[in-house]
A and B are shown apart, each in its own frame.
Chain A
């Protein structure tokens, strides 16, 4: 993965993480200065007409954003789902730390837990897959 892809990957995991879980995994925030204090807002979610056509506006979702700098100058950004300001703050701190290779165990844990949850859901769905069988009719014999 490129640096950009790595960053996309962890920012996505941080955005999707449950705030309480992230707080449990990474309770203490290091020193930082806020560039943009956590702010709750809305993002207009777009869909595609017919699933693959032109865009249309589907509706909004709540998002909280935050930007900050560590004492060494590394800058972290976060846009996280929901209205939890500490979630955004924590995600921005982690974004800054991860750029220096720190706190990668948090991301590894989030990734493993998310993968397990997704698999569990997919396995339940798979059990509801319909297996058709065709009855043998008289004229086939």
Chain B
């Protein structure tokens, strides 16, 4: 039985108008500007850029305002917008070794060239609510400065690599697969996995990484290095015949160092997990590198303990919060016909069972 469902236009229009009014909130309170969101909710903006998979802080700020601060809704808006943009090309891979670092810490080496630079971190704060922030217009002390060295900061893993103590990263000139162009196929290359994880839901990736730390798949990881800073983005311009910088973006990069007892072909050495995420997003970058390392079990000849974080299909197919929310939330939309058939089936089964019980009595 097919029942055409029409109607509800007036209800929908009115709902949208009310939504707009609720978004604005109390008219006696000043309206939020995009510049305020961009400047003062910058980590929310970063998350929307990372999971929206589009680096544009103004658009992310707009999406956050439009979505009333619902970040998954904001990410949805960004994903929808990006499908309208023509693809102008792909960049030359960014060189994170040339990052202008504002934060760079290593949990494996205390004294390292370039030093440990804390940057604007929440670490070492006491997580006590600061009621001074509740009062507006508080004068702020200017951050301290010190003589700066603008030289490139070398990657920590490079030191281990010199002694052959850590695996080298193979480098091929092949074009990486792009899940925004072709549907993801499993098993996925490491490049495709990294693309899926870097745009995946932070909470999901965090939980997957945490599960490996608690023993569901063993990846005892050290943070070899965590760095945040600006990198230049270059692209080959066909009209020019050479690459030029088309902008610069802020990235968070995490390299984890994991034990590896060796295989038939490789001597015992350290292996790596890698995380690279748009913006200042270090929880995500650390989690990404743990999940990346966990998914490499087959390549490294490790045991599959059946842990969720070792299951490529489980991780990659459930990491995207837009796919997840789309499928999850569609069940609240009209399913009247589906449900009608369920209802008839349950009634029929009940009638049979009740008839059977009466017959037995």
Q: Which residues of A contact B155 (CB under 8 A)?
A: 51-52
Interface pair B119/A4, CB less than 8 Å apart: no
Interface pair B276/A47, CB less than 8 Å apart: yes
Size class of the A contact interface (CB-based, 8 Å): 35 or more
Interface pair A16/B245, CB less than 8 Å apart: yes
Q: Provide the bound-state CA to CA distance between A43 and B176, in Å.
A: 14
Q: Which residues of B contact A118 (CB under 8 A)?
A: 100, 150
Interface pair B242/A126, CB less than 8 Å apart: no
Is B198 close to A, CB under 8 A?
Answer: yes
Count CB-based A-B contacts (< 8 Å).
Answer: 233
Q: Provide the bound-state CA to CA distance between A127 and B121, in Å.
A: 13
- Mask, B74-97, CB within 8 Å of A = 1, is 000000001001111111111111
Contact of B92 among A46, A50, A61, A120 (CB under 8 A): A46
Q: Provide the bound-state CA to CA distance between A40 and B85, in Å.
A: 7
Q: Provide the bound-state CA to CA distance between A9 and B331, in Å.
A: 54
Interface pair B147/A55, CB less than 8 Å apart: no
Contact of B88 among A12, A43, A58 (CB under 8 A): A43
The B-contacting residues of A in range 35-74, CB under 8 angstroms, are 39-63, 65, 67
Is A141 close to B, CB under 8 A?
Answer: no
- Shortest CB–CB separation between residue B51 and chain A, in angstroms? 9
Contact of B145 among A60, A65, A80, A123 (CB under 8 A): A123
Closest A-chain residue to B278, C-beta based?
A: A59
Interface pair B85/A50, CB less than 8 Å apart: no
Instruction: State which of A24-32, A104-112, A128-136 sits at the interface with chain B.
Output: A128-136
Interface pair B169/A52, CB less than 8 Å apart: yes
Closest B-chain residue to A65, C-beta based?
A: B88
- Since A56-B191, A123-B148 are in contact, a sample of 20 more A-B pairs with Cβ atoms closer than 8 Å, ordered by chain A residue number, is A42-B82, A43-B90, A44-B89, A45-B91, A46-B90, A46-B94, A47-B93, A48-B96, A51-B155, A54-B174, A54-B191, A56-B195, A61-B55, A61-B246, A63-B247, A77-B240, A79-B88, A81-B233, A118-B150, A129-B116
A residues adjacent to B (C-beta < 8 A): 4, 7-8, 11-12, 15-16, 39-63, 65, 67, 77, 79-83, 118-130, 132
B residues adjacent to A (C-beta < 8 A): 49-50, 53-56, 58-59, 82, 85-97, 100-103, 110-111, 115-121, 143-150, 155, 157, 169-172, 174-180, 190-192, 194-195, 198-199, 232-233, 235, 237, 239-240, 242-249, 251, 253, 255, 272, 274, 276, 278
